[in-house]
Each structure stands twice: as C-alpha cells, then as structure tokens.
Amino acid sequence: MAEIGQDLAQAKRLLESGELVAIPTETVYGLAANGLNAQAAAKIFEAKDRPSFDPLICHTDTMDKVERFTQNIPAQAYALAEAFWPGPMTLLLERQSNVPELTVSGLPRVGVRIPNHPQTLKLLASLEFPLAAPSANPFGYISPTTAQHVDDQLGEKLSYIIDGGHSEVGIESTIIGFENNMPTIYRLGGLSVEQIEDVIGSVQVKAHSSSNPSAPGMLKSHYSPSCPVILGEKLEEMMKAYAGKKVGILGFDYGLEDVAAEDQFILSVKGDLKEAATRLFTGLRYLDSRKLDLIITTQVPDTGLGRGINDRLRRSAAKG
C-alpha cells in the first residue's frame, strides 16, 4: 500500500527524482511523473499497464510554463485558457522538441491542462517541469475520485498519494484540439460544449468514434467494472429481462423498490447533473464491490455535463 498524506515537499522530492506520485485534481486523481523525462513517464505506462499508443496529458500551473513546452498556440486556445484554466479542460497544442515522444505517443501535439485543485496547483508551482498524469486507474478500469480509490487499485505500484479529498467534478477533462483552425472536441467531459461555445463559437464534436486516430486513447470500452453494465431505456423494463439474476442498479434520479437498497446507487435524487457527475465513478466502484451478475443503467439528460456522463456510461457498457 502507498502512503496517503498531504506532504507536498515529499511529493516534490519524489517527482524530482523521477518517481511516481498520485495527485488530486478537480476531475479525477492522476498518476503523475515528470512529463519531460522519458524514463519517469515510462513508469506511468508500466504502473497502469497502459499501451504506449495512448498519450499522456501534461499538467502545469501557468500559461508561461505552458509556453515552455508548446508552440504556435492558436488565438482561440488562449481565449479558452483565459476563460477556463485552471479547470476541467485539456488543450491539444503543438509540442516543442523537449517533450519526449513517449509522453505523446509520437504525436505532434501534447495534451495540456492547468487543473483546479489547491494542493496540486501549489505542487505544480514548486516544479520546473510539467506533470504527465493520466487518470490513476489500471488501464480500462473506472477512474479514481478519492485517494483511497487510487490506493485500492495501484497502491502497490507507487509510494505516495496526495490526499486532496473527493474530486469535485468527478469526470475527466473535456479535450479540445484545433484541426485547420476548427476547434474540435475529442472527449466530452467536465466542461460542457455550451460553455465552450459561449467563448469561441461553434465547435465540432468528434468524441464518439471508437477508433479516433487523433485521440488514440478514446477506446470504445473503458470505465469497466468486472461485471457487465447494460445501458437501456427504462429500468423497469430491463429488470423484467434479467429476472433470477443478481442485478445492481445505477440510477440517475430514482431506483426500483424490488431491488435491495444496497445493490442500488442513485446518482442524484434531485436530478442534478453536477451531483451525478461527481458521484458517477464512486457509484460504479461501489456497485462493482457488490459482486453482482450485472449492472443496469440508463442515460441521463443529454445536455451540459450530461453529455460527458453519457459518454462514460456508453463506454462502461461497451464490450471489447
């Protein structure tokens, strides 16, 4: 098991010597290492059992530092950075040659984010290099939103986890790149399409493809508990189809009376999408611990944060 604590000086020491540290962010916890050091970044791929074609996001704390490892930043990227950083948004920017191939899986762009979490911002301010950090879960499993989640899954693989409480947003950052100057969303997430369009006008969304060459990590199946997740229209109808099985329910704003309360997790009784996003991965993990035959769930309203939640639900239900 890793040590869980709030010692930023210790975290800094470990990171400066090329070691892994798990860091809290407002979206999910990240498994961090020096993003400009290939040997350090390699430890991330190894610990997560992550394929090397899936690039890492580099986190830092100021635009000045972003400019030390990126170039030719489009005006719209500056406008988005100004509006939403620190926050749940990742920009794909042209990289400089100081970013190792491994960090970006050989791609011409690097994912960059200034996360909005007080301890992590303080840590980043104390470092000369950006922190490459994917979500701190084994590849393909549910993303972590507490220090304990990280320890449960990856505790053997690293020595220190910074405890920053429960991640407030609860789903990963929205990823935005620019294709011939056209802003493009590659992953729906904690920042809504509506919020982005308010700042830079219309954007295209390319987040649904199962094999998107611009974002190789956007695999169709992800966020998967150990039992099947079935995504349907109505919980009541689905229940009938699985009579005799031990069924768990991941409900948006209600559950079913004939299923044991402890086999149900309601995302937001009041139907609030923000609350639902915060609780989504905790709910999936909880149900996964119940040793069920399957989990049934339905989509949430497909607006605002709901689009990011639905993307995660579709992918946790996808096979293969």
For helices 305-317 and 273-288, the axis angle rounded to 10 degrees is 20
Do the Cβ atoms of 31 and 147 come closer than 8 Å?
no
Give CA separation, 304 vs 58, 233, 312, in Å: 25, 20, 14
User: Could you say whether residue 25 binds ligand TXA (CB under 6 A)?
Assistant: yes
- 297 touches, from ligand TXA, Mg ion, none (C-beta below 5 to 8 Å by class): none
User: Between 2 and 175, whose beta carbon lies closer to ligand TXA?
Assistant: 175
Identify the residue among 22, 114, 131, 175 touching ligand TXA (CB under 6 A).
175
Q: Is the dihedral of CA 57, 61, 67, 68 positive or negative?
A: negative
- Give least dist CB 11 to Mg ion, A: 21
Quote the Cα angle for 30-105-26, to 5°. 20
Please choose, from the candidates 174, 220, 212, the residue with its C-alpha nearest in 3D space to the C-alpha of residue 193: 174
- Give least dist CB 206 to ligand TXA, A: 11
User: Could you say whether residue 280 binds ligand TXA (CB under 6 A)?
Assistant: no
Interaction residues for ligand TXA, span 57-86 (CB under 6 A): 57
User: Between 127 and 235, whose beta carbon lies closer to ligand TXA?
Assistant: 127
- 203 touches, from Mg ion, ligand TXA, none (C-beta below 5 to 8 Å by class): none
Identify the residue among 25, 90, 135, 224 touching Mg ion (CB under 5 A).
135
- Tokens 């000369």 locate to 128
- 90 touches, from Mg ion, ligand TXA, none (C-beta below 5 to 8 Å by class): ligand TXA
- 175 touches, from Mg ion, ligand TXA, none (C-beta below 5 to 8 Å by class): ligand TXA
Do the Cβ atoms of 41 and 34 come closer than 8 Å?
yes
Quote the Cα angle for 6-8-13, to 5°. 130
Which tokens hold the place of 229? 């997740």
| Element holding 312 (H helix, E strand) | helix 305-317
User: Could you say whether residue 310 binds ligand TXA (CB under 6 A)?
Assistant: no
- Give least dist CB 236 to ligand TXA, A: 34
User: Could you say whether residue 217 binds ligand TXA (CB under 6 A)?
Assistant: yes
Choices 81-89, 93-101, 127-135, 184-192 (CB under 5 A): range interacting with Mg ion:
127-135
User: Could you say whether residue 145 binds Mg ion (CB under 5 A)?
Assistant: no
For helices 75-84 and 193-200, the axis angle rounded to 10 degrees is 130
Which tokens hold the place of 219? 């695999």
d(CA 84, CA 78): 10
Quote the Cα angle for 93-96-99, to 5°. 95
Identify the residue among 21, 110, 185, 193 touching ligand TXA (CB under 6 A).
110
| One-character DSSP codes across 189-239 | -SS-HHHHHHHH---EE----SS-TTSTT--SS-S--SS-EEEES-HHHHH
- The 121-160 site mask, x for binding ligand TXA (CB under 6 A), equals ------------xxx-------------------------
User: Could you say whether residue 104 binds ligand TXA (CB under 6 A)?
Assistant: yes
* Position of minimal CB gap to ligand TXA: 217
Identify the residue among 15, 24, 30, 145 touching ligand TXA (CB under 6 A).
30
Identify the residue among 55, 100, 248, 308 touching ligand TXA (CB under 6 A).
55
**In the complex, which residues of this chain contact ligand TXA (CB under 6 A)?**
25, 27-28, 30, 54-57, 90, 92, 104, 107, 109-111, 113, 115, 133-135, 172-173, 175, 214-218
**In the complex, which residues of this chain contact Mg ion (CB under 5 A)?**
135
